[in-house]
Amino acid sequence: MTSTRNNESAHTPGSWNKDRWSNVLAEIDGDQVAIAEVFTGATDTIEEARANQRLMAAAPDLYAACKAMSDWNYDPLEALKMIHEAVAKAERVEIE
């Protein structure tokens, strides 16, 4: 399985998501592949572990929003929209 990497960042490209267990997934060549697993050992509650999982899954979106704002020619409304969507993804509580 190969993935296309960009020259700007070495992280796994594409949108990251979470599964209903403890994995953070990335879409690679059309497949959802686990790229990280969140453990509850360092957290006080399962809810805290789930929040960590959501934050990790939102990381590429947060990075893209920060990157967009670092461009001197950025569109403020578009950058704000990206930030809003990334924060919502990190904070979203889903019933599983």
Higher local confidence (pLDDT), 25 or 94: 25
Q: For residue 42, what pLDDT is reported?
A: 80
Strand pairing class (16-18; 23-28): antiparallel
Instruction: Evaluate whether residue 11 is within a structural domain.
Output: no
Instruction: Evaluate whether residue 8 is within a structural domain.
Output: no
The mean per-residue pLDDT over the stretch 12-29 comes to 91
Range of the domain at 55: 16-91
Q: What is the average pLDDT score of the chain?
A: 85
For the stretch 44-52, contacts whose Cβ atoms lie closer than 8 Å and that sit 24 or more positions apart, written own/partner, are 49/22, 50/93
Look at the chain and report how many structural domains it folds into: 1
